[in-house]
Amino acid sequence: MREKIKSELLPYLLNAPTITMLLFVAIFPLLYCSYFSFFEYRLITQSANFIGFDNYITAFQDPIFLSSLRVTTLFIVVALPLELGLGFILALVLNQKTTGASIVRVVFMIPMMVAPLVAGYLWRFMYWPDVGIVDRVLNSFGIQTPEWVANPQTALPSLIVVDIWQWTPFMFLILLAGLQALSRDPYEAALIDGASRLQVFRHITLPLMRTIVAVAMLFRLTDLIKLFDQPLIVTNGGPGFSTYTVSLYIYRVGLSEQFRVGYAASLSWILNIITMVVALMFIRSIFVSKE
Amino acid sequence: MTESKKSRRGYLKAVGGAIVAVAVAVGAYELYRSTTGPTTPTPTPSPTLSPTPTPTTTPTPTKPFEGVTVTFSTLDPVTTVANSLKADFTNQTGITVNIINVGIEELNEKNLLELTGHKGAIDVLTNFVWMIGQNSAFYEPLEPFVKKYNVDLSDFAEWVLDQSCRYDDEHKFTRRGGGGVLYTLPTGADCTQLLYRKDWFNDPNEKAAFKAKYGYDLEVPKPPDAFTWKQFCDIIEFFTRPDKGIYGYGYAANPYTFWELWHPEAFSRGEYYTTEEGKPNLNSIGQLEAFNLALYYHRQKWVPKGAENMGYPEASEWFKGGKVAVAQLWNMMYSEYTKPDFIDKVGYAFMPYWGKPIGKERPLPPGVTSWEVPGSKPRMSSGGWNLGINKDSKNKDAAFLWIQFATSYEFGKESARKMSYFGARYSIYQDSELRKTNPWVDAALESWKGDYLWICWMRTAAFPQAVDPVTRYMHQALIGEKTPKEALDESQKAMVEIWKKYNYPT
Amino acid sequence: MSPGKLRIIENMLSWIIVLFAMIFVLLPVVWLVIQSLVPRGFVLDISLKIFEEMSLSNYAIVLDPSTSEFYRNVQNSIIIAAASTAITLLFGSLSGYAFAKLAFKGSNNLKIWILSMRFFPPISVVVPLYVLWGNFQLADTIPGMVLIYVALNLPFSVWLMSSFFQDLPAEIEEAALVDGCSRLQALRRITLPLVTGGLAVTALFTFIMCWNEFIFALALTGSRAATVTRGLTGMLIMYGGIKWGEMSAAGVLLILPILVAAFLLQKHIVRGLTFGAVKT
């Protein structure tokens, strides 16, 4: 009898450390955060007044917050498909190859390993007009270049390029692993049936890769929502507000100059909710599709 | 079987519920505890020591604080000098100094993290000039220490003491500081100047070409004289030669420094962040004209390509690399230009003012109604780093001894010699040896006389909160997303909103 | 066109694509390395002359304890990352084993809950953690950072380890249990040694995450517990100019350990990246 109880409690015991850590370091601060999102809490004067939902109401009327949501969404909508597409192309190409494939794989891993911070500084100086390496290379081919991160229209695209540089390899590696794990049977059957290569891709490869693609997109998407390092280092949210992402704005409101911790907490919660909704949609589709 | 399952589930629910309840309770308690901590921002001098030295007949130990450690957070260049001299300090006093280096962009955040934590982990903190309003509630007033240790303040530049060290509520809006309580001692007397390529300006070919084009000589006025803004435009236009990769004005126009760098345009016509009474003054007619002038340099492309994302370090690199003819930089950045290969190429002058234009007529920039404003005089931004004692420090006397050392003549001389960072003492600025290797000192000393220096950011705690949206609105005008008037109107609105929260005059 | 020719053109095209991609990927990193070897700091005028000036002086300056904080940052980072990795491995393996081998009520829901923790934007916990850690005196301390990094990495580690455990055939453990071992003994003596590959990958990813982490390091460390990412921002942009040479050196030093480890474990990394999603 004791044996049975012990063995039935075991999974919970094994999970206890994990759950405890997460409760105290993640859930507890989140609850605390939601608690003082109902206050006007200024860190400098250390005064806190209860103001109910005022912070949330202010947030939805805050033009800067809304603009930062727009900037973040724009970033995701452009970067994610591009990374997926480019990663897929590279994965398909390398799926056929055996020579030198492992060297290529290692090389492609490099941008992922570079700390986003270092990548940020690196690209910031690469984008320096006329003098930075981007301009030097392009100008030597006679291409006229804009001011990259100093021009409000090209600032966001320039940041997207940085993200693509850093994370397309991530997509590529996942998709490649997925492709190589596919069994050959459906392909052989299709070839016997005389299907063209494009048809094979559309009707066999893509559906079989659905789960992997969804998982990859999920991780990348939630990372992009949190985007902080690059906009801070490369453009500092500028020019104007054109690369001011949500995380950056929350950081400035809460911990830098303004120290309006209550308002920052409410903004964080709005961001949390948006992230969870999007993530759960993806998770459901992954788990559901497996049945 | 189901019985035990049910009871186990119930058991787990209870445990889970208990954990959540505990979490919320502890959180609530923490919030309560942290908000009923010190809430009064008004400073009261705390009598931790008797101002009169107690007479003793027994010989006092020469190192009363032997073995004490003082923690000091600061930035470069002070860090480097402090590291090299702290051994001397330890020999003199027996106090060990633990030096922590902080980055420029995070100084405010790190200071506040420490000060609001009330743990007293850092004894002496470095501040920028404008932080005093915000931090004064957390600092120990220094007057009692000054008296106790008989510190002579007369060698410190008076304007620096006023701007960086003295503060009280009546002086929160002043342009040149002042105040009843001494909170810090100064480690710097920084201000901006106009730097120019003396070798280019003195080149006879350039001079001839300039005279032909603009109708007057290319001469740099000796401070306290200065160019007029009209002449300034002539000069930077003249030196803008994009095909050679050279531009006139190295204007670092990223969202943060863009605002700071058009202060001379505004200050020189008497416009400050607020009126004398403290009402926000960001969209007055004078400010708008100054703003339009600053925008004009960019519209005319007299600034390097990509300036909109560049800060002071890049501006310094442009100047060093020979890409620009003039730049507006702070004293502490000049160490690069005092190196032997560069020292003769750089000249130092006051920033321009709205004086009577000379030479061939120049069309007014859009939004500027006249080149001349009566009563205008050159004005530049000033700032000065300073050191304060954490109220929660457990070693305040030892901390003060370190402050005394770090602002001493010896420290300043070493700092000036090594890093061209001159500190805030008259005697160092007047040292003839140092002046030979630092030609900018002449212009600096001239700017100290009279009303040429206004504090770069307002000292009241409310001001830093306005900075972020405001600099970006102005930046939007720079990149064309807003008209100048819209940008300043919105900035004014943002500042008024914050002023209202603090019950300041609007 | 004959299919053979089409094949060849296709082959060439695909190699060109790969080549371009590799150049795009490598160029910035190569530039970083070159910059770090040029003592002269930021180079406004690049010419082939810089190849004559190369030296390791930037690395010497950056690593010298008396002239730079970076050395201490490296120390802090190593300690924090190592401690976080060790604890995360421990907790993560226990949980991963439970999910993989033990069927229990709520297992699916718990797993989803743990994974969902990964999706919370760090910025939303930074603000309350800043206040909380201040009150608990954990701000700017190594234990404070370790606690955070463990929590940050647990979701991914749990999922990863559970997929590795799942790969193990159940028979091995069954055999041990039949022989009279308790579950825990079987876990320790038999199962764990079989997933060393999984442990290695999890350790690597956790270490990388801690090493490269920026936002918590920026907000929650001052100077005592500053990590390398924090040191990089704090140290090298001075008002007077950009110490680009030294910064590049620091950047390379930041990347180097990760690259070496990644190269050694590359096969396992690919497995880790799919989180066993292929098989689940």
pLDDT per residue as tens digits for the range B299-316: 999 999 889 988 888 888
Greater confidence (B84 vs A44) lies with B84
Please give the residue that has the higher pLDDT: either B42 or B108.
B108
Q: Token pair 């810089």 is at which residue? A: C50
Average pLDDT of span A47-53: 79
Token readout for B195 is 């730097």
Tokens of C141: 């301390």
Say yes or no for a CB contact (<8 Å) between C233 and B105: yes
CB proximity A239 to B under 8 Å: yes
Q: What is the pLDDT of residues B65-88, one digit of tens each?
A: 888 889 899 988 898 899 889 899
If you count residue pairs, one on B and one on C, with CB atoms under 8 Å apart, how many are there?
83
Measured between beta carbons, the chain A residues lying within 8 angstroms of B24 are 31, 35
- Residue B87, phi then psi, degrees to nearest 5: -65, -40
**Residue with tokens 């090493």, as numbered in its chain:** C211
Check residue B1 and report its DSSP letter. Answer: -
Q: Which of B98-112, B491-505, C226-240 has the highest mean pLDDT?
A: B491-505
Q: Is the pLDDT of residue C180 over 90?
A: no
* Predicted pLDDT at C51: 66
Per the prediction, chain B carries an average pLDDT of 85
CA distance A61 to B96: 53
* The one-letter amino acid at C271: R
Tokens 């104007």 found at: A240
Report the pLDDT averaged over residues C87-116.
Answer: 83
pLDDT on residue C50: 62
- Residues of C within 8 A of B333 (CB-CB) are 239-241
Mean pLDDT of B121-141: 91
Residues in chain B within 8 Å Cβ distance of C134: 34, 113, 116-117
Contact in structure between B271 and B284 (CB atoms under 8 Å): yes
By Cβ distance, the residue of B116, B311, B317 closest to C134 is: B116
**CA distance linking residue A268 with residue A252, whole number of Å:** 12
Are A257 and B464 an interchain contact pair (Cβ–Cβ within 8 Å)? Answer: yes
Using alpha carbons, select from A243, A119, A226, A99 the residue that is nearest to residue A169.
A119
Choose, out of A259, A261, A263, the residue to mutate when testing the contact with B (most B CBs < 10 Å): A259
- Run of H or E residues at B455: strand B453-455
SS3 B186: strand
Residue B208: is its pLDDT beyond 90?
yes
Strands C241-242 and C237-238: antiparallel
How far lies B291's CA from each of B256, B401, B477, C105, in Å?
15, 45, 10, 67
Asked if B356 is an interface residue toward chain C (Cβ–Cβ < 8 A), one would say no
Determine whether the interchain pair A35/B26 forms a contact, defined as Cβ–Cβ distance below 8 Å.
no
* CB spacing of A26 vs C125 below 8 angstroms: yes
Nearest CA to B185 out of B408, B491, B481 is that of: B408
Residue A196 DSSP SS3? coil
Phi, psi of C155 (to 5 degrees): -55, -50
User: What tokens does A61 get?
Assistant: 């009327």
Would an 8 Å CB–CB cutoff place B458 in contact with chain A?
Answer: no
CA separation for the pair C57, B190 (Å, rounded): 32
* Among A7, A46, A134, the residue to mutate for chain B (most B Cβ within 10 A): A46
* Residues in B 318-337 with any Cβ partner in C closer than 8 A: 320-321, 323, 330, 332-336
- Chain C CA closest to residue B319: C241
**Which residues of chain A neighbour C183 with C-beta distances below 8 Å?**
7, 10
C234 close contact with B: CB closer than 8 A: yes
B434 CB within 8 Å of a chain C CB: no
pLDDT of residue C279: 43
* Beta pairing partners, B182: B166
At B332, the amino acid letter reads M
Sign of the Cα torsion B124, B127, B129, B135 reads negative
**Pairwise CB contact (< 8 Å): C117 & A26:** yes
Write down the pLDDT at residue C47.
Answer: 61
**Cβ separation A47–B39 shorter than 8 A:** yes
C262 touches chain B (CB under 8 A): no
Q: Which residues of C touch A14 (CB under 8 A)?
A: 94-95, 97-98, 102
Per DSSP, the residues of A228-286 read -HHIIIIITT-STTTT--HHHHHHHHHHSSS-BHHHHHHHHHHHHHHHHHHHHHHHHHH
Contact A21 C91 (CB under 8 A): yes
Residue with tokens 């190859």: A97
Nearest chain C Cα distance for residue A153, angstroms: 23
What's the DSSP call for residue B220? P
Q: Would you tell me how many other CB atoms lie within 10 Å of the CB of residue A105?
A: 19
> What are the chain A neighbours of C227 within 8 Å (beta carbons)?
none
For the entire predicted model, the pTM comes to 0.84
* Partner residue opposite B309 with nearest CB, options A44, A47, A239: A239
Q: Could you give the C-alpha distances from B82 to B86, B99, B107, B114, B403, in angstroms and in order?
A: 6, 8, 17, 21, 11
CB of B213 less than 8 A from some CB of C:
no
Q: What's at C200, amino acid-wise? A: A
Contacts of A275 (CB under 8 A, 6+ apart): A222, A225, A226, C119, C120, C121
Would you state the pLDDT for residue C236? 53
Per residue in B336-381, pLDDT tens? 888 888 899 999 999 999 999 999 999 999 999 999 999 999 999 9
φ and ψ of B380, to 5 deg: -125, 165
DSSP lists the bridge partners of residue B280 as B274
> Region A191-220: what's the mean pLDDT?
78
DSSP string, C157-214: HHHHHHHHHHHS-HHHHHHHHHTT--HHHHIIIIIHHHTHHHHHHHHHHHHHHHHH--
Banded pLDDT at A31 (limits 50, 70, 90): confident
Residue A72 scores a pLDDT above 80: yes
A228 vs C107, C215, C232: nearest CB: C215
Q: Residue B223: what pLDDT?
A: 87
Read off the pLDDT of residues B285-296 as tens digits, 9 standing for 90 and up. 999 999 999 999
B28 or A82, which is more confident? Answer: A82
Beta carbons of B76 and C238 less than 8 angstroms apart: yes
Model pLDDT, residue B15: 41
What confidence category does residue B411 fall into, taking pLDDT thresholds of 50, 70 and 90?
A: very high
- What is the per-residue pLDDT across C109-118, written as a single tens digit (0 to 9) for each? 888 888 888 8
Predicted pLDDT at C270: 63
- Say if residue B17's pLDDT is above 70: no
What is the rounded CA–CA span in Å between residue B380 and residue A52? 45
Least confident of B31-45, B166-180, B421-435, C255-269: B31-45
Cα dist. A208→A172, A173, A190, C275 in Å? Answer: 16, 17, 14, 17
Question: What's the pLDDT tens digit per position in C259-275?
Answer: 777 777 766 666 665 55
Nearest-CA distance B216 → chain C (Å): 34
B306 touches chain A (CB under 8 A): yes
pLDDT band at C9 (very low <50, low <70, confident <90, very high): confident
Q: Is C91 helix (H, G, I), strand (E, B) or coil?
A: helix
Beta strand pairing status for B380-383 and B453-455?
A: parallel
| Contact yes or no for C234 and B102 at CB 8 A | yes
CA contacts within 13 A on the Cβ side of B290: 31
Q: Judge whether A94 and A176 are in contact, CB under 8 Å.
A: yes
Q: Which of B17-26, B439-448, C61-70 holds the top average pLDDT?
A: B439-448
> What pLDDT score does A169 carry?
86
Q: Which residues of A touch C91 (CB under 8 A)?
A: 17-18, 21
Lowest mean pLDDT of B234-248, C193-207, C227-241, C245-259, name the range. Answer: C227-241
Residues 145-204 of B with CB under 8 A from C: none
Taking CA–CA distances from C104, the nearest residue in chain B reads B5
DSSP assignment letter at A27: I
Average model confidence (pLDDT) for chain C? 78
Phi, psi of A238 (to 5 degrees): -95, -175
Q: Give the range among A254-268, B13-27, C62-76, C231-245 with minimum mean pLDDT.
A: B13-27
Helix (H), strand (E), coil (C) string for B319-352: HHCCCEEEEEEEHHHHHHHHCCCCHHHEEEECCC
What's the burial of B353, exposed, middle or buried (CB within 10 Å: 0-12/13-18/19+)? buried
Q: What does the pLDDT read at residue C268?
A: 66
Angle at A285 between CA A280 and CA A289, to 5 degrees: 150
- What CA–CA distance (Å, rounded) separates B280 from B73? 33
In this prediction, residue C240 carries a pLDDT of 57
Please indicate if any CB of chain A lies within 8 Å of the CB of B170: no
Return the closest-CA partner of residue B283 out of B377, B257, B462, B291.
B291
Instruction: Inspect the interface and report whether the beta carbons of C278 and A15 lie closer than 8 Å.
Output: no
How large is the angle between the packed helices A63-96 and A246-255, nearest 10 degrees? 130
| B3 or B448: which leads in pLDDT | B448
CA-based nearest residue to B378, from B223, B189, B497: B223
Residues in A touching B467 (Cβ below 8 Å):
257
ipTM of the complex, rounded to two decimals: 0.84
Q: Between the CA atoms of C259, C260, C265 and C267, what dihedral angle is there, to the nearest 10 degrees?
A: 50
CA distance C127 to chain B (A): 12
Whole-number percent of chain B with pLDDT over 70: 88
Q: Residue A253: pLDDT above 80?
A: yes
3-state SS class at C93: helix
Does residue A201 register a pLDDT over 50? yes
How far is it, in rounded angstroms, from Cα C48 to Cα C40? 14
Task: Quote the minimal CA–CA distance from B206 to chain C in Å.
Answer: 24
Query: What tokens does C8 get?
Result: 């060849």
Contacts with B, A 3-32, CB within 8 Å: 5, 8, 12, 23-24, 27-28, 31-32
Can you tell me the distance from the alpha carbon of B333 to that of B315, in angstroms, rounded to the nearest whole number?
10
Contacts of B30 in chain C (CB under 8 A): 131-132, 135
- Asked whether B166 and B30 are in contact (CB, 8 A), the reply is no
Q: With pLDDT > 70 as the criterion, what percentage of chain A qualifies? A: 93
Residue from C125, C127, C135 whose CB has the most chain A CBs within 10 Å, to mutate: C127
Proportion of chain C above pLDDT 70, given as a percent = 84
Residue type, A174: I
Q: How confident is the model at residue C103 (pLDDT cuts 50, 70, 90)?
A: confident
Q: Residue B441 — pLDDT band, cuts 50, 70, 90?
A: very high
Shortest distance, CA B365 to any CA of chain C (angstroms)? 31
CA-based nearest residue in chain B for residue A28? B23
